[in-house]
Chain A
Amino acid sequence: DAGVIQSPRHEVTEMGQEVTLRCKPISGHNSLFWYRQTMMRGLELLIYFNNNVPIDDSGMPEDRFSAKMPNASFSTLKIQPSEPRDSAVYFCASSLQGQNTEAFFGQGTRLTVV
């Protein structure tokens, strides 16, 4: 398996623009997680899905952030409108059979909002 695949690897956008980050989990995994990494806050969970259903989105910072998982092999994280403070590395991860198994991370998307 190719692992968790994220795109794009890097994104530079202007403040106010819409940004969409994409993730393809490992085939057969039924849990998907979005994390954000910043210097100030470290790695923090934004939202996670089990069997394509959002379970906990309490980590989503505000209404500008939204995430979807239309099928078992694809998820998106959208920021609209983007702000400079959204600049961070966004990671997607997946695991098998819920949370109590090993999670694997994608290579991340480095987002810069100018």
Chain B
Amino acid sequence: GIQVEQSPPDLILQEGANSTLRCNFSDSVNNLQWFHQNPWGQLINLFYIPSGTKQNGRLSATTVATERYSLLYISSSQTTDSGVYFCAVISGNTPLVFGKGTRLSVIA
């Protein structure tokens, strides 16, 4: 099955800093989503982005499907951005396959 690798596994930022999270996948995809799992465990939809670029406030994402990667940009990070960021993909007829996530800690 498709493999999803996220990097870095852990990231510590000072409040106000910018960061880039990466998601690599091993096969072509027809769906890609980014999620934020907050400290209470809730999975929050950030982007549905099988290709192209989207922006939502301080967050933006780019997926280059032909090169099999997606990037999540967080600008001017805040402590509320802390949590785990997951990339999940659909390839062919498989449901969402998740990466292991990037654990982000933003320090005031």
Q: Chain A residues in contact with chain B, CB under 8 A?
A: 33, 42-45, 48, 56, 89, 91, 93, 99-105, 107-108, 110
Contact = CB atoms under 8 A, between A and B. Distances in A.
B18 interface: no
B30 interface: yes
Contacts of B96: 33, 45, 93, 99, 103
A91 B43 contact: yes
B95 A105 contact: no
A101 B42 contact: no
Interface in B6-43: 30-31, 33, 35, 41-43
A98 to B, nearest CB: 9
Contacts, number: 48
A99 B90 contact: yes
Contacts of A105: 35, 42-43, 45
A68 to B, nearest CB: 18
Given A91-B43, A105-B43, A110-B41, A99 B95 contact: yes
A107 B95 contact: no
Interface string B62-90: 00000000000000000000000010101
Interface in B30-61: 30-31, 33, 35, 41-43, 45, 48
